[in-house]
Structure 1
Amino acid sequence: MQLDHATIVTADLDSARRFFVDIAGFTEGARPPFSVDGYWLNASGRPVVHLIAAPASGAAGRVMPRIDHIACRLDSAGEWQALLERLDAHDIGYQTAQVPASAVQQEQRQLFVALAPGVVIEFVTAARQALQPKP
């Protein structure tokens, strides 16, 4: 089994699309003609993030869906450094953390970006590949 996609429902559709395309490096892909606006964003040639437009508040009696976070794995030091450079160039704040090594996985580095209230995007890589962010 593998993760197919994550759907993010947001009132600021265009800002979310710009973040995923301009900063995270996803590409905009083909999307079926649904009755609600949105985007399908691709990584490695397939749609993995679905963005859907939503009103600022939910309909009466309906809970607005949300995602706590989605995580994107970066496999090389070059990808990690390029991400840091794009975040810095666009003045986007982030927090970093370290996942200690365990018997089942090596040490990892995490980077978290608050995309919108209630939605966090995590990027993760092997710690040996992660260059330190600028202070």
Structure 2
Amino acid sequence: MNINHVLVLTTDLRAMECFWVDLIGLHEGKRPPFPFNGLWLYSDDNPLIHIAEQPSSAFGNGSIAHVALEGANYNALLKRLDNSAYSYTEKALPISNERQLFIIGPDGLTVEMLFPLDEHQELTEKKQTLVYETNENFDFLGGKIL
């Protein structure tokens, strides 16, 4: 398993960019055309830190919204989740050809698991399907941010 990225929410996009670029040494790179302000900051060729502008403080300033991991067996994970007490939301992200599982863990920790869209079956009927389009607003786990 690999860490894919960390999403950092901020009310001051420029200040957060300066922190990660000028102080830490990352560099800005290519980012899909999401319908919200943000940046992807790279370490070499890896988009390690994603920054999203968050006008309100729903999640706090400078907070890490979630940790994303690249998964290997979507159906096995779904089975384990369905047999657990943890809640999750499935989402399709066609603009990056990915399927996402957002899992709420202990203490409210959110973990995003990423899988290729073509690797697994349809979303389960009991879970909400959200398809992100480049020109619409959407909810992030119940908190309007992105």
Report if TM-score (shorter chain) is over 0.5: no
User: Normalization by structure 2: what TM-score?
Assistant: 0.40
User: Normalization by structure 1: what TM-score?
Assistant: 0.43
Higher relative CO (Cα under 8 Å, sequence separation at least 6) belongs to: 2
